[in-house]
């Protein structure tokens, strides 16, 4: 496990994925996808934090084009964001 309670990359190959960009339309607030997933855009957000029972578990500053997706009949939340490397 990493310092952020994530599996090591060798144990979770999907963590090796990098995003070069998203096709994001920030003019839309809420989007319902054909499969029933929902996406909400937050174009003004510049910091993302995930808070667990022990406090902050993830913090990213200077991000942009933040989107939150509610998937799997409301059982999964995914956060998509862009940031400089």
Question: pLDDT at residue 69 above 50?
Answer: yes
Note the pLDDT tens digit of each residue in 33-53. 777 788 899 989 999 999 999
**Residue 17 host element (H or E):** none
Condensed to tens digits (0 to 9), the pLDDT of residues 14-30 reads: 444 454 444 545 455 67
Neighbours of 20 (CB within 10 A): 5
Determine contact, residues 19/77, Cβ cutoff 8 Å: no
What is the structure's pLDDT at 37? 80
The DSSP call for residue 9 is: G
Residue 81: pLDDT over 80: yes
In this prediction, residue 15 carries a pLDDT of 44
Structure tokens at 66: 């933040």
Q: What is the DSSP letter of 11?
A: G
């Amino acid at each position: 496990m990493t310092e952020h309670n994530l599996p090591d990359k060798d144990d979770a190959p999907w963590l090796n994925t990098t995003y070069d960009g998203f096709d994001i339309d920030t003019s839309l607030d809420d989007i319902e996808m054909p499969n029933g997933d929902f996406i909400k855009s937050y174009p003004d957000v510049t910091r993302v934090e995930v808070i667990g029972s022990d406090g902050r578990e993830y913090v990213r500053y200077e991000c942009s084009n933040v989107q939150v997706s509610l998937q799997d009949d409301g059982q999964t939340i995914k956060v998509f964001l862009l940031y400089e490397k």
